Amino acid sequence: MSPGLPDPQAVMELTPAQVSGLLPAIRRGEIELIDCREDDEWRFNRIEGARLVPLTRFAEFAVPEKPVILYCHHGMRSLRAAGYWKSRGLDEVWSMSGGIDRWSAEVDPSVPVY
């Protein structure tokens, strides 16, 4: 398991503050940050370093081979997406609770809300 990440069997969600603390590992490519919103939402705002994989297209993508943190608008789609990848064998996957809205409120107010 990657340093700084909780046991994925015990914790399915991370707070935006926890994800913010993991940004150096995300930038180094040790953890993948995936935005599971749709293209129009991605164009409006995003977290730097994230990759877009819309939930509606998850079946088209291979299960990542590194730890993954998912986020969406409010945290519901990313929680579903985390469960989907867990069911396909990805053990180290978490959802960011509250989504990008909570990120904007608690970590980076420069990220616009909608």
Please provide the distance, in angstroms rounded to a whole number, between the alpha carbons at the two ends of the chain: 35
Which amino acids are annotated catalytic?
A: 72
| Phi-psi label, residue 67: left if phi above 0, alpha if psi -120 to 50, beta otherwise | beta
Show the tokens assigned to 9: 């069997």
